[in-house]
Amino acid sequence: MSRATGADRTPRVLIVTRNLPPLVGGMERLNWHLAQQLARFAEVRVVGPSGSAALGPAGVDIVEAAGGGLPGFLTQAMRKALHVARTWRPDVVLAGSGLTAPIAVVAARICGARAAVYAHGLDLTVRNPVYRTLWLPFVRRAHVVVVNSSATRDLAISMGVEPARLQLVHPGVDIPSEFAKTHAEQFRTRHGLGNAPVLISVGRLTARKGVLEFVRDALPTIAAQAPNVMLVVIGDAPANALAAKAQSIDSIRQAAQTSGVAKHVKFLGTVSEDELQAAYASASIHVFPVRHIPNDPEGFGMVAIEAAAHGVPTVAYRNGGVPDAVSDEVSGHLVAPGDAEAFAEAVVDLMHRPLTRERIVGFSRRFAWERIGDQLAAVLGLASNGPTKAPAPIDASNR
């Protein structure tokens, strides 16, 4: 720590992030859980987006930074973070992504705290010249840069972050206590899936995710060998993403029609947490056809870990941080980037030779949130104080 917290009080952590519910996505779930886990070791306050205070973890104080659009949020977040830094005097200020790194570094400096940034990959490679000129230097100045995968660590080094400042802490996952077979059956009935093998795709429909290309180039081969297969697509085009190029349900549907597999694809759009859990419980295979797009990396692959936690194997291209999230032949199959034929063969192979569910779930346990919280607390210099309390029960509706 940059200064002693003293035996008379608990350490304090200020998190500054735009990525929290009610915004929806993997980074939003990640920051929600990071706040919850750090609250085991420290008092935690968060400067977050409008609407986030009502949805935050129990015991975490959230100060909302209102404002229209991204510029408005950043302006308000800077003002409120500086106020919290001066009056509350945190010991660590953590940016939830590179986007809020300048706020975290400045706030930490005025109160003598350590500055930390959790980097995801895309926030290091954005080509916008203003972002690269004004934002990235603050990432390099942080005392600690936490990265979500080995690939993101390599990106950070290439962007000039000193290796000694880097710490690898993967995103985490909730491990279901049991698999809801009844909910799975209801999900299949609700969506007319019957007993068909179900492929599931979960996530925002960016070009990097490659759902359109999978439907066009791989699904026809799979459907030829498994005539009743169904692909369930959960997610929609992103809103307010940092630099993502979107696909759309209409463009993917058109690709399915052109490729003759329209009857094999069902779009659910954005769903509730309960519906997502039921979808995972119903799925046979999670497909994760992430493409390599310059300056648009897949930092990790949280959905692959979520699928594994439900015993669902993943087939993915060996791109970006995905190999950190998929253990080949243990929690799924990794294939050469862009090889649609090999991807289709891997899917069909899993249909005929499924991996052991216990091994898949066992792999996911490495990423259980409590373990991730312990790791993050250690790299932020909090773990020596020991956990202050057990984590509050997770309210799935807030994820």
pLDDT at 297: 87
The candidate with the shortest Cα–Cα distance to 93, out of 107, 73, 82, 76, is: 107
pLDDT at 178: 66
- Each domain of the chain, given as residue ranges in start order, spans 12-172+368-389, 181-363
The candidate with the shortest Cα–Cα distance to 198, out of 264, 260, 277, is: 264
Are the CB atoms for 232 and 268 separated by under 8 Å? yes
Architecture per CATH, 181-363: 3-Layer(aba) Sandwich (3.40)
Are the CB atoms for 260 and 282 separated by under 8 Å? no
Note the pLDDT tens digit of each residue in 89-111.
999 999 999 999 999 999 999 99
Task: Write the Ramachandran bin of 329: left for phi over 0, alpha for psi from -120 to 50, otherwise beta.
Answer: left
The yes-or-no answer to whether 12-172+368-389 and 181-363 have a common fold is: yes
pTM value is 0.86
Are the CB atoms for 64 and 49 separated by under 8 Å? yes
How far apart are alpha carbons 34 and 17 in whole angstroms?
A: 11
The residue to which tokens 């203003």 are assigned:
130
Task: Report how far apart the first and last C-alpha atoms of the chain are (Å, whole number).
Answer: 31
Are the CB atoms for 373 and 146 separated by under 8 Å? no
Note the pLDDT tens digit of each residue in 268-308.
999 988 899 999 999 999 999 999 988 888 899 999 999 99
The CATH class of 12-172+368-389 is: alpha beta
Q: Tell me which residues of the chain have a pLDDT lower than 70.
A: 1-8, 178-182, 238-245, 384-399
